[in-house]
Amino acid sequence: MTLLDGKAVAAAVLEDVGAEVRALPGRPPSVVFIRVGDDPASVSYVNTKQKTAARLGIDSRLDHFPEDISGEKLLAHIASLNADAAVDAILVQAPLPDHLSERTVFNAVHPDKDVDGFGEVNLGRLVQENPDGFVACTPAGIHEIIRRSEIPVEGRHVVVVGRSLIVGKPAGLLFLRKGDFANATVTFCHSRTRNLAAVTRQADILIAAIGRAHFIGPDHVREGATVIDVGINRVDDPSRPRGYCLVGDVLFDEVKSKCEYITPVPGGVGPMTVAMLMANTLKAHRRNHSA
Ligand code: GUN
């Protein structure tokens, strides 16, 4: 079993992005984060993203709105950022409160500033295999770990458990594409999949993105598989100062001995998401300056 060290791969990506940012002429890349309400996980994710941006020399700003902001107000704010030439990238942190339509909000971000890749234009570009698009950061991070670890993909069976817009769907599409570290046979599974373990046991590469703690056990994994654990689940743990710990969707201790490669939680896919966001922000800056 080889551990896929997402922290180390993310550090390598960040080093590359930082070097490119330092070499840029003119103003640095800039990203605006929009956070609605005070969901503790969102507060923590946006803080990490801002700290990483600062370390790389990328300008960032947080536009924070109360939980009860109206859809019209939020959309008007996004429109003003779309029109602001000093803003390269816009990220609306999910989840949004129930009264706001995530689809409408994500689609309102200008496609060339949509570094999350959640808007319909960038999802369409992914389906069309257009390299000019932005790919959502977590799936892009999964692909980058596989690519930098030189894990073969072509002709192999990638099974994705989870069909979210943020992870499952784009992750499967990335491996389905033509090209290097792609050309896979891809199966999507979800909560209604019958006999899930029989399907996941066929995976050469199993991507667990269900959002349920320790859902994938040894019965779901075939000997010699590569397992990518996307889950970041808070589980009560009174022994920790915060009162909780973070665990993945995979029962790591029971599954690891069966795997050729496996990502840990924390320190697997998580750090890659932030790294790919920085890479996408640099790409947005280049796009907006070459037009
Ligand atoms: N919430 C959980 N993951 C993400 C992400 O990658 N981007 C945004 N905007 N919100 C998220």
Question: Could you state, in order of their start, the residue ranges of all structural domains in the chain?
Answer: 26-111, 137-270
Find, among 260, 269, 143, the residue nearest to 204 by Cα.
260
Instruction: Mark whether 178 is an active-site residue.
Output: no
Q: Which atom of ligand 1 is nearest to the CA of 94?
A: 10
How high is the pLDDT of residue 149? 98
Matching fold, domains 26-111 and 137-270: yes
Low-confidence ranges of the chain (pLDDT < 50): none
Phi, psi of 62 (to 5 degrees): -110, 120
In the reported structure, the alpha carbon of residue 94 is separated from the centroid of ligand 1 by a whole-number distance in angstroms of 5
CB atoms within 10 A of CB 173: 20
Integer CA distances (angstroms), 81 to 61, 78, 90, 282, in order = 12, 5, 8, 17
| The one-letter amino acid at 286 | R
How high is the pLDDT of residue 193? 98
Q: Which atom of ligand 1 is nearest to the CA of 138?
A: 6
Find, among 18, 44, 19, 17, the residue nearest to 33 by Cα.
44
CB atoms within 10 A of CB 170: 25
CA distance 72 to 77: 9
Candidate from 39, 45, 47, 91 with most ligand 1 atoms within 8 A of CB, to mutate? 45
- Which residues have any ligand 1 atom within 6 Å of their CB? 91-94, 116, 137-138, 166, 273
pTM for the model stands at 0.97
Task: Say what angle helices 40-56 and 269-290 make with each other, to 10 degrees.
Answer: 60
CA distance 184 to 227: 15
Domain spanning 26-111 has what CATH number? 3.40.50.10860
Burial of residue 185 (CB within 10 Å: 0-12, 13-18, 19+) is middle
- Give the residue, by CA position, lying nearest to ligand 1 atom 9: 93
In the reported structure, the alpha carbon of residue 139 is separated from the centroid of ligand 1 by a whole-number distance in angstroms of 11
- Cα within 13 Å of Cα(159), Cβ side: 22
CA distance 132 to 122: 9
Please give the CATH superfamily to which domain 137-270 belongs.
Answer: NAD(P)-binding Rossmann-like Domain (3.40.50.720)
Burial of residue 97 (CB within 10 Å: 0-12, 13-18, 19+) is middle
Q: Which of 59, 88, 114, 116 is catalytic?
A: 116
Q: Look at the block and give the residue holding tokens 């107000």.
A: 73
How high is the pLDDT of residue 288? 86
> In this structure, are residues 38 and 65 in contact, taking their beta carbons and an 8 Å threshold?
no
- Give the residue, by CA position, lying nearest to ligand 1 atom 11: 94
What element of type H or E holds 47?
Answer: helix 40-56
**pLDDT tens digits along 70-82:** 999 999 999 999 9
Q: Which of 88, 93, 113, 204 is catalytic?
A: 93
Instruction: Mark whether 49 is an active-site residue.
Output: yes
- Give the residue, by CA position, lying nearest to ligand 1 atom 8: 93
Candidate from 166, 234, 272 with most ligand 1 atoms within 8 A of CB, to mutate? 166
Q: Measured in whole angstroms, how far is the alpha carbon of residue 276 from the centre of its chain? A: 8
Q: Which atom of ligand 1 is nearest to the CA of 91?
A: 9
In the reported structure, the alpha carbon of residue 116 is separated from the centroid of ligand 1 by a whole-number distance in angstroms of 7
CB atoms within 10 A of CB 184: 21
In the reported structure, the alpha carbon of residue 25 is separated from the centroid of ligand 1 by a whole-number distance in angstroms of 30
Instruction: Mark whether 93 is an active-site residue.
Output: yes
